[in-house]
Chain A
Amino acid sequence: MTSPTPLVLDRVSKRFAGHTAVDQLSLSVPTGVVYGLLGPNGAGKTTTIRMIMDILQPDDGTVRLFGQPSGGRAHAERIGYLPEERGLYRKMRVLDVLVFLGEMKGMDRRQARDRAGEWLERLGLAQWAPRPIDELSKGMQQKVQFISTILHNPDLVVLDEPFSGLDPVNTQAMKDIVLDLHRRGKTILFSTHIMEQAEKLCDQLCIIAHGRKLVDGPLGEIKRTHGGHHLVIGFDGNAGGSARVFADKTLVNKVDNYGQYAELELAPGADAQRILSELVASGARLSRFELQEASLHKIFIDLVGPDARNAEGREPHA
């Protein structure tokens, strides 16, 4: 290992009056990885991130950043943070806001000023630099906030629901920035409850619900172990005796049969080739036979399941 792991949580817990927001959560974010923290609303994602950022203190467990047992404040100059709820000083000028937030991250004024100028140029906001924030459109304000997050060229970027409330153009811009940071070897931790984004962006992830970890690890591995095997079958007019084949519990766990089209989940240890031969033997004519990986969305629903509906309760107030 050339550099210590940017972020390790070791059995971290946080309780608020009456309920446990985060419960014995452990995870490890290696260098250069895009790491997704996934969970339904109220799962404890924001509380976890706030503990990482030193905004809240864990009741139990430790947060280790860059190998040291300390929260984000001690490493402010190496961490960029975009909170879920965003806002800027409305009356302040764009450039002044960026310089001030850069100073908060330990930059000196001149450096912050130069770097902010470059970023504003790059995102097409250069002419807005001397204008007050409240003259900017919402989308432009969001861009300014992205800039403030990464202005000091942090090694670890923590984004809480980075895509929430963004229009498609800014969503794309945000993705580009994340991918660009990733290419430059930065480590990115982001939370989301939108699985499609996580599936496209994450190398590794952790799914939590009710403050507890359900699964973590590299995306591919999670898909292999938790996804099961899915089979998509299309019939060419004649489904033959397929219904009998689908009813075989040694082969098929679950079926979603539309008549001319069916989605199967294979029983554990079942061989897809046997289903194929049995279907052909039953007289069915097939137009499509495809083994599929489960989507992250499906894995998430399966894991979180009924919890997802129950977890819609209140987000901890702090």
Chain B
Amino acid sequence: MRKIWAVVRREFVERVRRRWFWIMALVGPLFFGAVFVLPSVLARGGGVRQIVVVDGTAGPLGRRITDSLNATRAFDAVLVRAGGQVLDSLTTEVEEKRLSGFLILTDATVDSGKAEYRGSNVSGLATVGTLRHVVGDAVSTARLERAGVDPRIVAEARVPLHLATHPIARGGATAQTGEQSFSLAYFMGIILYTAILLYGINVMSSVLEEKTTRIVEVLVSSVRPFELMVGKVVGVGAVSILQFLIWGVGGRLLLARHASPLAGSDAANGEEIFQVPHVSGGTLAIFMAYFLGGFFLYSAMFAAVGAISSTEQEARQAQQPVAWLLVLSFVSMFALLNDPNSTLAITLSLVPLSAPIAMPVRWAAGNIPGYEIALSLAILVVSIVGVTWIAARIYRVGILMTGKRPNLRELVRWVRA
């Protein structure tokens, strides 16, 4: 027992001492933060767009649309009367990048709802969405007025809609919004996938180092191979927990600092896909339980991969099947997010290979009965024991072997031996 402890401590201390660990500690939150915030930043597009509204209408439509666009703060709009060479010169402006684009309004706009936008980039979803929204509003206002409705009544009728979506979870509606659930689930999925892969590969290279330097011979003459493997996995696991603690504390501080500007941009843009979620104690517990479960399950496999390889290159190749299992679980996360209570989602969160990612994602996305979690955890634990047993038998033979990598039939023989 004291020897296992020594193995655990060596893995832990040596890793925490490395520069790599501290780089990860610093870069990790930034990386995850970027993964978290980037999609919404990208979707929003860059900065204020300079556009010109070319007004060919008789009424006040052009003026209204220009004012509304300027009010969104996403556009810097200028009103120009239609006619002459206006369109040609504006096209040149756009080509020379002095202008993002221009909106063409005619009398047909009010009659049939037709308008045209020409610009350098017409695929920016947020830009087009805002334009559509603003023009649509102005047109329907104009038509209502033409039908004799009092402009004040029209303005009063235009209450902006905010559809608040709250998941019902753990016996009641939560204060959490749907967007928050989504981003929490997404965020947890990414962290789980990255961390399990990262630390699993850490275990693999640790096994490989002892094998290639032949230290393993001295070690297994003093500790049982199984003890050595378990010590290694626990040691690396402890490193990952420390890393999470650092990330957790660092992330909290970072989010606390950035909470206000994020909230501000929410107001400006109406809806926001990614929002800072509230992380409850239960969520943390589920996250850690499944992270550790997934880590133990996968790192046992990675340890076996390290044991059957003789060089870094070989290991990189041999780890692919294991890594793919994890990638598959990660990819299936998106299906889960769509419908967390589909049969597929329930199956994935019970199958031990995908459960470590699928279950926390489902948990974050919605309501899950307690017995499902208990069942999924039980299956996971049993699988860890089974996989570790098999991996240990491969490990035991593999670490002393040199030369050709064994094929599948040989592996089966090792396990049976």
Measured CB to CB, the residues of A under 8 A from B are 50, 53-56, 72-73, 76, 79, 81, 83, 85-92, 96, 100-101, 103-106, 148, 317-318
Selected contact of A88 from candidates B10, B18, B213, B223, CB within 8 Å = B213
Main secondary structure of the interface of B (DSSP, over half): helix
A73, B218: Cβ atoms closer than 8 Å: no
Chain A nearest CB from B11 CB (Å) reads 10
Q: Given A103-B2, A103-B3, is A90 in contact with B222 using a C-beta cutoff of 8 Å?
A: no
Chain A nearest CB from B245 CB (Å) reads 24
B400, A92: Cβ atoms closer than 8 Å: no
B222, A105: Cβ atoms closer than 8 Å: yes
B397, A53: Cβ atoms closer than 8 Å: no
Q: Given A87-B215, A103-B2, A104-B6, is A92 in contact with B14 using a C-beta cutoff of 8 Å?
A: yes
B212 and chain A: residue at smallest CB distance: A87
Expressed in whole angstroms, the Cα–Cα distance for A90 and B219 within the complex equals 16
A73, B209: Cβ atoms closer than 8 Å: no
CB contacts under 8 Å to A, within B1-48, are 2-3, 6, 10, 13-14, 18
CB contacts under 8 Å to A, within B207-223, are 209-210, 212-215, 217-223
B221, A54: Cβ atoms closer than 8 Å: yes
Selected contact of A72 from candidates B3, B212, B213, B221, CB within 8 Å = B221
Q: Given A104-B6, A317-B402, A318-B401, is A89 in contact with B215 using a C-beta cutoff of 8 Å?
A: yes
Q: Which of B3, B6, B215 counts the most A-chain CB atoms under 10 A from its CB?
A: B215
Selected contact of A83 from candidates B212, B218, B403, CB within 8 Å = B218
Question: Would you mind naming 22 contact pairs between A and B with Cβ atoms under 8 Å apart?
Answer: A50-B400, A54-B221, A55-B400, A73-B221, A73-B224, A76-B222, A81-B221, A83-B217, A85-B214, A88-B213, A88-B215, A89-B209, A89-B210, A89-B213, A89-B215, A91-B18, A92-B14, A103-B6, A104-B222, A104-B223, A106-B222, A317-B403
Measured CB to CB, the residues of B under 8 A from A are 2-3, 6, 10, 13-14, 18, 209-210, 212-215, 217-224, 397, 400-403
B221, A55: Cβ atoms closer than 8 Å: yes
Tally the A-B contacts, defined by beta carbons under 8 Å. 71
B13 and chain A: residue at smallest CB distance: A96
Q: Kindly list chain B residues whose C-beta atoms are within 8 Å of the C-beta of A91.
A: 14, 18
Selected contact of B3 from candidates A87, A90, A106, CB within 8 Å = A106
Expressed in whole angstroms, the Cα–Cα distance for A76 and B18 within the complex equals 30
Q: Given A89-B209, A104-B6, is A53 in contact with B221 using a C-beta cutoff of 8 Å?
A: yes
Q: Kindly list chain B residues whose C-beta atoms are within 8 Å of the C-beta of A55.
A: 217, 220-221, 400
Selected contact of A73 from candidates B6, B213, B222, CB within 8 Å = B222
Chain A nearest CB from B80 CB (Å) reads 68
Chain A nearest CB from B125 CB (Å) reads 49
B14 and chain A: residue at smallest CB distance: A92
Q: Which 10 A-B pairs have the closest CB atoms?
A: A87-B213, A103-B6, A76-B222, A53-B221, A85-B214, A83-B217, A104-B222, A87-B214, A318-B400, A81-B221
Q: Kindly list chain B residues whose C-beta atoms are within 8 Å of the C-beta of A50.
A: 217, 400
Chain B nearest CB from A55 CB (Å) reads 6
Q: Kindly list chain B residues whose C-beta atoms are within 8 Å of the C-beta of A105.
A: 222
Expressed in whole angstroms, the Cα–Cα distance for A106 and B2 within the complex equals 8
Selected contact of B218 from candidates A96, A101, A106, CB within 8 Å = A101
Q: Kindly list chain B residues whose C-beta atoms are within 8 Å of the C-beta of A87.
A: 212-215
Expressed in whole angstroms, the Cα–Cα distance for A292 and B401 within the complex equals 45
Expressed in whole angstroms, the Cα–Cα distance for A96 and B215 within the complex equals 14
Q: Kindly list chain B residues whose C-beta atoms are within 8 Å of the C-beta of A148.
A: 218
Q: Which of B10, B209, B397, B401 counts the most A-chain CB atoms under 10 A from its CB?
A: B10
Chain B nearest CB from A6 CB (Å) reads 16
Q: Kindly list chain A residues whose C-beta atoms are within 8 Å of the C-beta of B13.
A: 96
Q: Kindly list chain B residues whose C-beta atoms are within 8 Å of the C-beta of A101.
A: 218
Q: Kindly list chain A residues whose C-beta atoms are within 8 Å of the C-beta of B222.
A: 73, 76, 104-106
A85 and chain B: residue at smallest CB distance: B214
Q: Given A87-B212, A87-B213, is A318 in contact with B218 using a C-beta cutoff of 8 Å?
A: no
B228 and chain A: residue at smallest CB distance: A104
Chain B nearest CB from A113 CB (Å) reads 13
B220, A100: Cβ atoms closer than 8 Å: no
Chain A nearest CB from B234 CB (Å) reads 16
A104, B401: Cβ atoms closer than 8 Å: no
Chain B nearest CB from A256 CB (Å) reads 42
A90, B217: Cβ atoms closer than 8 Å: no
Expressed in whole angstroms, the Cα–Cα distance for A11 and B218 within the complex equals 25
Q: Kindly list chain A residues whose C-beta atoms are within 8 Å of the C-beta of B3.
A: 103-104, 106
Expressed in whole angstroms, the Cα–Cα distance for A317 and B221 within the complex equals 18
Q: Kindly list chain A residues whose C-beta atoms are within 8 Å of the C-beta of B221.
A: 53-55, 72-73, 76, 79, 81
Chain A nearest CB from B5 CB (Å) reads 9
